[in-house]
Structure 1
Amino acid sequence: MYQSLESFSKSWVFKRNDPKVEPEDLQKIRLLSEQRAEQIWRDYISSEHLHPDHFSDYDWLKKPDLLISKVSWEKAWDGEDMSLPGELAEHFSAWGEDTTVFFCCHNELVFELPWGVFKRSWKAFLFLDNGPILVGKKKKQAAQFHSNGLANLLLRTG
């Protein structure tokens, strides 16, 4: 179900001093096995497309009626404050600290962690900003992060 975080070629993003991921948080960041990642991707993201670059208008992430707003994350990411930007925090305010979240980069690269850990370590995850999607287990709120510094705040279907 899980594989070693060390097997991830960019595991350095979690070991930097800036942004710092605390050791107790690092232990809670789990890299899913490719098989489990494919299942989460299929169930939560897309059964048709394997990577965010390939989404079509048929994927729920591209449906205009599911887009709540677009917000900037880049200025906060560059700043000293480690807090999740206000609009993002507000969008996910119904989530508890222990809510299981999935940070989905593509069909074979998905991380599982508690929401509280993501809030504290979000800057490390956004080194991987090529369209990843954040979803919560059994939750409707979602966000897709883009390399242009914007995130789409979404409500997931199904």
Structure 2
Amino acid sequence: MNYTELDNYTRKWIFTHASMPVPAADLEQIKPLTQARSAQLWQEHISKQSPDADHFEQGDWAFDAKIWSTPEDWQDAWDDDELALPEAILTVIKWEDNTTVYFCYEKYNIIETKWGVFKRNWKNFLFFDDGPILLGRKQKQALWFQSNGTYQLASRP
């Protein structure tokens, strides 16, 4: 089994919080991966050696600062009443809404969902903003959210 039931997910509250509840139809498409599946995906697509974004090192594709765009702000959009993902992200990432995406908090904590679900509920995902990376299945673009309220884009190998 690759998934953990959302009801058993330790961070379920970020999707059911009274101030920003995720619609039931979207909740069904938010699938936390098991720790084993998360670790496998992390090792295949992010790092074979680093457990989280704070510890990237030589040999990790994400370690190369030259591949990342100039940091841009996401915090202002998160704080305002508008629900939409920042326009600067949407102009660069043109994935189909049904593209499978992985929101990678760290090696043992990854959520699988669809790009459309993420776009509608991105603020919930970013209740924890300690360096998560968003990857699209079969997509080269990556989006790295920093805890200082900025994000950066890159094309991964």
Bin of the TM-score, shorter chain as denominator length? over 0.9
Matches within 5 A, 1:95-106: 95-106=95-106
Q: For 1:22-69, what per-residue CA distance to the aligned partner results, in whole angstroms no more than 9, with x for missing partners? A: 110011000101111111101111111111121124321121331133
The aligned counterpart of 1:139 is 139
Alignment map for 1:109-120 (pairs within 5 Å)? 109-120=109-120
* Residue aligned with 2:57, SS: coil
Compute the displacement of 1:105 (Å).
Answer: 0.7
| Correspondence for 2:18 | 17
Q: Distance in 2 between matches of 1:68 and 1:53?
A: 18
Amino acid at match of 2:88: E
SS in structure 2 of the partner of residue 2 of structure 1: coil
Unaligned runs of 5+ in 2: none
Structure 1 pair 90–57 and aligned structure 2 pair: CA distance change class (3 A)? farther
Tell me whether 1:153 sits opposite 2:146 in the alignment: no
In the other structure, the counterpart of 2:44 is 43
CA 1:91/1:69 → structure 2, altered by over 3 Å: closer, same or farther? farther
**Counterpart for residue 126 of structure 1:** 126
Contact 1:141 1:155 (C-alpha < 8 Å) held by counterparts: yes
Give RMSD over aligned pairs: 1.2
Query: What amino acid maps onto 1:123 in structure 2?
Result: K
Structure 1 residue 149: Cα displacement: 0.1
Q: In the TM superposition, what is the alpha-carbon distance from 1:7 to its structure 2 partner?
A: 2.0
SS at match of 2:71: strand
Distance 2:134 2:122 in 1: 11
Structure in which a larger fraction of residues adopt strand = 1
Q: What residue identity is the alignment partner of 2:53? A: P
1:57 and 1:73 map into 2 onto residues whose CA distance is 27
What's the TM-score once normalised by structure 1's chain length? 0.94
How many residue pairs get aligned? The number is: 156
Structure 1 counterpart of 2:74: 73
Percent of aligned positions that are identical: 38
Question: Which amino acid in structure 1 is aligned with residue 69 of structure 2?
Answer: I
Q: Which amino acid aligns with 2:7?
A: E
What secondary structure sits across from 2:81 in the alignment?
Answer: coil
In structure 2, the partner of 1:30 is 31
SS in 2 for 1:129: coil
Q: Which amino acid aligns with 1:76?
A: A
